Structure 1
């Protein structure tokens, strides 16, 4: 007689994993080229493409060369670019007046991209750190980063970017009340169709180091940013910040950094259902690149897995330096 075995449970979850076709049928999330925003760095000068040493494969470009990057994005179907300026210490001031100069490299790059590729959505960065001799996102008075005076400057900066043609204003400064002030100013100046993607939950993170090299802020920063960026230990506070920014007129919200804060992405999406983005920041990017260059990981697979993690956590889109590389793969190239 054959031994009697208890019947195996009716549910065998491996049935839907047996082939690529079956896995595709039950896949819960999809990563698409339209999910990607490509951050690029612009600097003064002409004919310049210079590498950022701590971010392999990432370049600082003069405005004319930014148009070459825009052409690449357009060819790949990457429909959104975020412009960040590089500013040397010699061009930084305490009054940060360069931040709202219509002819600063960022505003010139925004205008150039929109003229050459009007269908590409261009996002700006609103914070004083790349123009401030102190390297902070706001004005420094007696060692304190002041809020309300900074907000007045941020409004001028945002208006200059809207005048240059920015489609999306990206306040990354974390000052209180800046979303409402910027929204009111945009409406008053006739820029009612310009969207705000608020860095609503931006943490005081150690993952930003390579970015500060890219924008020239590493040598300028005095102290830290813990009095205005979020404590990495907090999550409920992120929901309060998102609620406030949405109430003040933000159209979309951001969690930054990205992968170490996927729990925040999920909480924000579940709580508000608003368009939710994450920034796969410089430290995340550089760690993947460094490990891959050492042969410790498969760069392509880890890149795509990391980007899919954002979609699984509820993100509608991702700012990532991997945008062109990911787009080539997603396009079948």
Structure 2
């Protein structure tokens, strides 16, 4: 006797009843790239339908997101001035601090997540203060300014802080700094397993954060290492992270599943720029049923164990879910 597994597939209502995973609009976080100025909406050749926005246009974008039912954004800043220590990120008049205040005033129910890093703000494009002997980021000196950046953004209205530099001890350091300053209620969503990946190329176009020398392999995770990838996330959990993250998503679904099986914390994935651009180019070339492949891809993140999906496709997904 064999099992007739097709019995629960023949009827669409039964199929829906036994469906194990689904994508919801409330699972999505939409990235926004904010620049100084007014009435700015700069298109990015490598990322169709993604823009650098001045704050006034970012507010228009937030209004559209609310109508679509998207409740969370991730803010990335593009400064007017870059220097060796990312000074604009340490100013209460920095671009993201300004954006937080403006968005919070008009959209108090929108969850404002902030990417916490220095790569967009430094003239060398690395994620903190450089140690000239190592020709890499000085871990402990960078923790000090990372704390300062976090406190500025918390005071400006950030609802969730997402440190992305893959620095040792960053979660413990940030948690202590936030708690001591009266921000114990703000959760940390750590880029806990962030790979030194080739999938980030288009992001560096929009965020203007390409390193001026070398690469980030001395602090981001080696794509070849599975056990180390799990350890990175478990260490951040032990330090007090509230949400873990794997970045990129599509090529690392095995790691997403590994971490899901080791941790009970909420788990996010970042559907990164290279993944986005590939689907967009395949759509433009007429190679795929774009909407079907998009939803299949996003569903794969949920099936692997992700609770939260940060994606440039968020608006498209929200519209498809309303159909």
TM over 0.5: yes
Q: Which position in structure 1 is the counterpart of 2:171?
A: 179
Extract unaligned runs of 5+ from structure 1.
1-8
Q: Which position in structure 1 is the counterpart of 2:216?
A: 225
1:172-251, aligned counterparts within 5 Å? 172-218=164-210, 220-251=211-242
1:157-168, aligned counterparts within 5 Å? 157-168=149-160
1:316 to 307, 316, 322: 307
- Partner-residue secondary structure (3-state), 2:147: helix
Extract unaligned runs of 5+ from structure 2.
none
TM-score normalized with structure 1 length:
0.94
Q: Which position in structure 1 is the counterpart of 2:109?
A: 119
Q: Does 1:294 align with 2:285?
A: yes
Q: Which runs of 4+ in 1 moved over 3 A?
A: none
Query: What is the root-mean-square deviation of aligned Cα atoms in Å?
Result: 1.1
1:24 to 11, 16, 32: 16
- Partner-residue secondary structure (3-state), 2:182: coil
Q: Distance in 2 between matches of 1:306 and 1:55?
A: 18
1:79–1:121 contact (8 Å) kept in structure 2: yes
Q: Which position in structure 1 is the counterpart of 2:128?
A: 138
Q: Distance in 2 between matches of 1:54 and 1:290?
A: 9
2:79–2:94 contact (8 Å) kept in structure 1: no
CA displacement 1:243-273 (0-9 Å, x = unmatched): 2111211100100000111111111111111
2:162 to 149, 152, 170: 170
Q: Distance in 2 between matches of 1:130 and 1:104?
A: 12
Q: Which position in structure 1 is the counterpart of 2:295?
A: 304
TM-score normalized with structure 2 length:
0.97
Bigger Cα Rg:
1
Aligned residues: 321
- Partner-residue secondary structure (3-state), 1:136: coil
